[in-house]
Amino acid sequence: MMVLLPLFIEQNEVKESIVKVFRIIRIENIGLFMDLLGIVSINVLLWAGVTYLVVDFENNLLVYITLRTLLHSTLFPLIYFYLTLKYKVEMNM
């Protein structure tokens, strides 16, 4: 629900937004599960790749926080663009 709710924010009422989100969850439950599985696996693979690049340096927590922030700031907008394009048809229900 937290992934889809920002897509329906343009509705007039909060109740309409929540009803449409639950309708999408009920209709597209396997598709949403596959999307979430893909998002999590891409996130884990990118995190493993980025940490593999800096494993030989003397790193502290600040380096890992910075890497995680950069990874999220580049990955999350792409995720929301993908979800908006995929579920744009259902938004007009």
Taking 80 as the threshold, does the pLDDT of residue 17 lie above it? no
26 vs 29: CA distance, rounded Å:
6
pLDDT in tens, 37-47: 998 999 999 99
Answer whether 28's CB lies under 8 Å from 45's CB. Answer: no
Q: Is 93 helix (H, G, I), strand (E, B) or coil?
A: coil
Q: Give CA 38 to chain center in angstroms.
A: 10
pLDDT in tens, 27-83: 888 888 898 899 899 999 999 998 898 888 888 888 889 999 999 899 888 888 888
